[in-house]
Chain A
Amino acid sequence: MIDWNTTTAFETASAVAKGEVSAREVAEAALRRIEALEPRISALLTVTADRALETADAIDARRSAGEALPPLAGVPVAVKANMAVRGVETNCASKILKGWKPPYTATVPGLLEDAGAVFVGTANMDEFAMGSSTENSAYQVTHNPWDTERVPGGSSGGSAAAVAAGEALMATGSDTGGSIRQPASYCGVVGMKPTYGRISRFGLVAFASSLDQIGPITRDVRDAALMMNVIARHDPRDSTSADIPAPDYLSALTGDVRGLRIGRPAEFFVEGIQPEVRNAIDAAFAKYEELGAQVVDVSLPYVKYAMPAYYIIAPCEASSNLARYDGVRYGHRTGDDLDMIQMFMRTRREGFGPEVKRRIMIGTYALSSGYYDAWYRKAQQVRTLIRRDFDRVFEQCDVLLTPTAPATAFRIGEKVDDQFQMYLEDVCTIPVNLAGLPGLSVPCGSAEGMPVGMQLIGRHFEEDVLLKAGHAFEQATEWGRRLAPIAREVSE
């Protein structure tokens, strides 16, 4: 039997492979925990119990037949509800895709299942990944397991909450402006957004095509490396997928960061940062120096324009990506009897929530005739300037260390009425997506009982360096592998 409060995906997979526990036992335990915890956190939109047990049984049969098991065999995984899984409702937490069961499976869930992962359910999210709190879900609000009156962050809030509460041992998230890292930080778990192009986007329902990337949300850094080993590969079905071989990320976890140059970028330490967050990050810098790393102060002057650039570019791409939801081929169609144009208009009115509509309209405006140069083109030029800032800084250091978010998780309902306040949640994470760089959030502190996360930013395709740095910190401190107290309340 495994101890849910202390185990990891890596350890569970190992136990299953050795026959110390059956995949079925693990799956049943996960489903029991889900049943106990869901009423309190509502992290999952669909629980795929039958599929989980079938998969688990198949793994156990393979093991009995003497086969060697693949690396994730028996590990319960939650999949964010914007990644197509054949036959499973993939609704992106939107009414407009209510009931949609894709006739195909996205590349990443496919790789995970081939690796033996046991899907326990689809994770709640902000509608079409637009949001920073998961409050924009059209179906339910997810509660932060550390304090159920607070948000889990977003848009991958369901994924982070599921891992933090121990409903699953791993989850997939997607990150366009911080949607993996920020909820990981709020829920005290590890979350990584890989380099743009490192992970296939085929089957990931697009929000902003030049920014979206899938990544792991896990209990510790080694588990993130484990998932990266499974999903980081070239996909010929995705033109933006990099044809660059991935290293073995597990072997990067040497614990040795001597000589690592860690940049401290001034512009990320904004005025409004919560003092405890500031303190935790300062302590992290000190810890790294203890471990033999070298801290370098650097500056990225254009980073302060990352927010406005992002909130033009992402809505522009989204306005185009979401135009296909017209009620003709799948999902919701208005029940009213109307002509073609009106049918489209009312279907989309009924199917989309207000934040999605706002972003579609901003994007439509910024791309429209007469405004394209001043808004979209301008934002893409600023993006180049931000990228150049990072390129320059990475000549002086190997990774950057920043807060993941300016504060810890806020209360549910606290920011829904002020869009721009909500947008400021992502001020530390957005620049990373604009530059296409990899970013890793690792728990590094606590403020009034709520987790604090730190963000490591690396050069393109140097996820191994990030994982090494994050793992070394985790090994040297007490912040890793802490489950939310609620998780311990589940009796086995």
Chain B
Amino acid sequence: MSDTRYEAVVGMEVHAELRTKSKMFCGCANAFGGDANTQTCPVCLGLPGSLPVPNRRAIELVVRTSLALNCSITSPTIFHRKNYFYPDLPKAYQISQYDDPIGQHGYVDFTVNGEPKRVRIRRVHLEEDTGKLFHNPGDVSSHVDYNRCGVPLMEVVSEPDIHSADEAREYLVALRNILVYLGVSDGKMEEGSFRAEPNISVRPVGTDILSTRTELKNLNSFRVVYRGIDAELARQVAMIERGEPVVQCTLRWDEATGTTIPMRYKESEADYRYFPDPDLIPLEFDSAFVEEQRSALPELPRAKSERFQSQYGLSAYDADVLTADRETADYFEEVATACGNPKAAANWVTGELARVLNAGNLTITQTRIPSAGLAELIKLIEDGVISGTIAKMVFESMFNEGKTARHVVEEKGLTQVTDTGAIDAIVDEVIAANPSEAARYRAGEEKLLGFFVGQVMKLSRGKANPGMANEAVKRKLGG
């Protein structure tokens, strides 16, 4: 929002499905995409008489996430029932947490346009997911599938410290990255395993007069989050300018019109009647358990990025790009360690490798170039065996055919020419073939140096050492 008279006040609620093998309160598989109602049992269907038993791993993952988000761990902690009626909620209550969430009072540090930003985390808690409704357009009925019902869900609620759509997006990127690093979530917004719901209000700069909060739902990509928040902020400002009060409601993003559209008008009247779930026993975390979870934390993205900068001398930008996902960061580090040239490793991973992966819609785990292989290629360049130009060709072959660098160079005879005599011979040939350019160079057009070197490279099919070619041309053309 570019209107500088108003400040956006945004809080973010994120729901992440946890990567466990089984559901939160029963042993049904926690897996995406099964046929309807094939992953259900009396417990997650809420059949009369069924009872929940919590998944230990889900609890560990939420404790770990809370620690990674710098939260304090609440002990004892209990589950509450959140009561409401909806067809995708078979018990007509969701087992969740109310006033004693597992994690509280944390923060996430990240950057927005190069500037550091901190968003405080109010709470992290554990609950169960609902089933799915399928609406058939043109039909008066809906279909319900409970496969997703009971999947462990972690909710992360931030303080309203976010003041722009940009900040919101960068916060989500950073948070998602932490969760993926932890192995807690696979972070797929489009599959619904990572859901963001901003609540949005505005206030005139310098005042405390907040407009009523509205909530946005069904945002299925970072781009849509950005656009949705942006549009909602503009909508609220326009209403305020017109003197209309902003009404509390839930809105969804409509891609076709590029606007936010109200969903359930009277959300605020839902009375969930929270009370402690008598079917579940309190959880207590002693310090030994908390320390165990803390020591199981991997190096997190921000810390890794900072270490890459100090240990490998990378720029903040490159370090951030490399640590955007854990596999890439690990891959880079293996290459850097094996070839001893972190800057070159960074260039190749963020440059050529990223390019071919994107083009083929692949992730780094799907590349046919092992980290040792890329390290070998970099060493060959450093040792002068091949030139930088040739290296790019070799790289393509390695990527497409899965061969090692050395193999490709030998197979195709791409070893760099570094013999002075051989280069001199090529330079002589080029000069002889281009007499008028030679004359013009000798007459003072020194920028033709590039032309000659280019011709030498062409004649040698890229194998001539460029530096030596440059020196030889200068020497032979005299001057």
Contacts and interface: CB of A to CB of B under 8 A. Distances in A.
A103 B48 CA distance: 11
B433 to A, nearest CB: 84
B-side interface size class: 20 to 34
A236 B53 contact: yes
Name which of B51, B52, B53, B54 has the most chain A CB atoms within 10 A of its CB.
Answer: B51
Interface stretch (A274-282, A315-323, A463-471, A472-480): A315-323
Contacts of A92: 48
B87 interface: yes
Contact of A320 (B54, B275, B281): B275
Nearest to A363: B273
Interface in A299-329: 316-317, 319-320, 323-324, 326, 328-329
A319 B271 CA distance: 14
B280 interface: yes
B85 A344 contact: yes
A43 interface: no
A202 B49 contact: yes
A201 B47 contact: no
A240 B281 contact: yes
Interface string B253-271: 0000000000000000001
A-side interface size class: 35 or more
Given A237-B51, A240-B281, A324-B92, A329 B45 contact: yes
Interface string B269-294: 00101010011110000000000000
A296 B447 CA distance: 115
Contacts of B81: 320
Contact of B91 (A82, A90, A210, A324): A324
B279 A209 contact: yes
A90 B273 CA distance: 29
Contacts of B83: 319-320, 323, 367
A228 interface: no
Contacts of B93: 320, 323
A342 B452 CA distance: 85
B112 interface: no
Nearest to A327: B87
A369 B49 contact: no
B279 A205 contact: no
Given A320-B93, A323-B93, A100 B275 contact: no
Contacts of A240: 51, 278-279, 281
B54 A239 contact: yes
Contacts of B144: 328
Given A239-B54, A320-B81, A368-B273, A102 B49 contact: yes
B76 interface: no
A316 B87 CA distance: 22
B180 to A, nearest CB: 31
Contact of A329 (B90, B275, B278, B280): B90
B50 interface: yes
B204 interface: no
B273 A326 contact: no
Contacts of B271: 368-369
Residues of A contacting B: mostly: loop
Contacts of A209: 278-279
Contact of A239 (B45, B48, B49, B279): B279
A139 interface: no
Interface in A220-253: 236-240
Name which of B48, B83, B85, B275 has the most chain A CB atoms within 10 A of its CB.
Answer: B48
B192 interface: no
A324 B281 contact: no
B279 A326 contact: no
Given A324-B90, A367-B273, A372-B275, A330 B53 contact: no
Nearest to B37: A329
A100 B47 CA distance: 10
A238 B45 CA distance: 16
Contacts of B388: none
A97 interface: yes
Contacts of A330: 47-48
Nearest to B27: A237
B313 interface: no
Contacts of B48: 84, 90, 92, 97, 100, 102, 205-206, 324, 330
Name which of A97, A203, A323 has the most chain B CB atoms within 10 A of its CB.
Answer: A323
A416 B93 CA distance: 32
B68 to A, nearest CB: 28
Nearest to A203: B49
A323 B53 contact: no
A202 B50 contact: yes
B278 A317 contact: yes
A103 B43 CA distance: 12
Contacts of A257: none
A323 B92 contact: yes
A487 interface: no
B465 to A, nearest CB: 72
A104 B42 contact: yes
A341 B47 CA distance: 21
Interface in B9-60: 42, 45-54
Nearest to A328: B87
A83 interface: yes
A204 interface: yes
A323 B275 contact: no
Contact of B275 (A90, A326, A344, A367): A367
B53 A324 contact: no
Interface of A: 82-84, 90, 92, 97, 100, 102-104, 106, 201-206, 209-210, 236-240, 316-317, 319-320, 323-324, 326, 328-330, 340-341, 344, 364, 367-369, 372, 376
Closest 9 CB pairs of A and B: A323-B92, A210-B278, A367-B273, A209-B278, A203-B49, A205-B48, A84-B49, A369-B271, A205-B49
13 contacts: A84-B47, A102-B47, A103-B42, A203-B50, A209-B278, A323-B83, A324-B48, A328-B90, A329-B90, A341-B85, A367-B83, A372-B275, A376-B275
Interface of B: 42, 45-54, 81, 83, 85, 87, 90-93, 144, 271, 273, 275, 278-281
